[in-house]
Structure 1
Amino acid sequence: MSDTARTGLDDDTRPLVALLDDEPEIRRMLVDALEEAGFRIMAFGRAREFEAALKRTTPDVCLVDLGLPDRDGLALVHRLALESGAAIIIISGRAQVQDRVMGLELGADDYIIKPFDPAEVVARIRARLRRPRQDHGRARIARFAGWTADFDRYMLIDHQGREVPFSHAEGEVLRLFLESPRRVISRAQMQESLGGAAGESFDRAMDVRISRLRTKLGEDPRNPRLIKTIYGAGYVFLGEVRWG
């Protein structure tokens, strides 16, 4: 039986996970664990098949190995972050700090180091999906300081109509700021709202996402006017925000 035959596509109510890993044993282990946990699963050993499938359907989560035989894993993660709208979790044997930092900088939501317990992967996926379910019924368009944030398209549009894409991970942080303008948001509040384990890895991920948002909003990194750092306290978004 092929990997893609075990997807459970007859049940559209279950979250869909797209898995890309060239190691058959890891694919089988994760497919079994995710199906037992109640997810639909599409599993692929080659990036070409994975990308073709994503043109036909949109998964809720992408699990992507970096060591791929037919594609640069980091380049694929970056493209997925800009185009797919799915949460992206890297699974990789690359344990160096610089690899984890690069993955987060390119738009991944999480980074799991091999070898891992399948239960940890299931827990991380559930944590990523918890917040999108809470987004149901919330406004999807916000306007501020000459910008429009479209959370359906993962797109920032400036006053001249130019479009700048943002990733799923960046969108979570942006929404948090836009829903609480002119209020200091501490690291602890960010961790509680966005999930993830508190610590250096989470702090680094937030620094990366905020830096990327500032760049996309044309902010001066030495004196940002919208997303201000309050040293020792957190961050504050200073723009006036209108939803809808």
Structure 2
Amino acid sequence: MIEATDITEDAFLGGQLRLRQKRSGHRAGHDAILLAAATGAQAGDRVVDFGAGVGTAGLALARRVEGIRLSLVEIDPELAELARANAAANAIAAETIVLDVTADAQAFAANGLPPDSVDAVLMNPPFNDPARHRGSPDQARHAAHVATGETLHAWVHAARRILRSSGALTLIWRADGIADVMAALSRGFGSLAILPVHGEAGKPAIRVLVRAVKGGRAPTRLLPGLMLNEESNVPKKEVRDILEGKAEVTLAEP
């Protein structure tokens, strides 16, 4: 059980979304909000957030797009309970499922996620390379950030299995791992849209936002990069609008 003193309540989307999260360990940040802003959905869609944590990305998407049928998938029971409470506190309808994303099809089906049943999946998998990243001694933070060599492939495989034909997967990953993303999406996905995200002008991208369509056949599109900060290190207005829930990131073709 999480002690009340171990919990903070934080505002996202300019105060439109308030989330309780653990004071230590992995904490929600810009990646989750950017992911939510880049995920296309419409009312009635079945949407699944893999590795949902306290629900940040999925709930931010639900705040922007009313009427989606949202499932938050999280392996950590304590984080899943926080996600469930956060959905209720923000009056957002969402199902919370305690499940390992790498589980087999039978486990997914037992939790109401059979093959070919979902319109959209969004995910922010653990993506730090353990060979180059010193993991946190906090086990939850380590699990949320550090990937094994199979993490991305396993998560993409799970998304491909539950997505309907023409359903879309949206993910955020570290930019220097783009080759891993392309390899993981090479089976069963197409119509890729890739958006580099730069922290500072003149510096290499730090993240990539990627949208892929199950069974898509359109050519891959490399979009103009998104610059987070001005030269003065102040967030750009378009980024402030995204973080405050006033704008979205368009990856789908018009």
- In the superposition, the TM-score normalised over structure 1's length comes to 0.31
- In the superposition, the TM-score normalised over structure 2's length comes to 0.30
Larger radius of gyration: 1
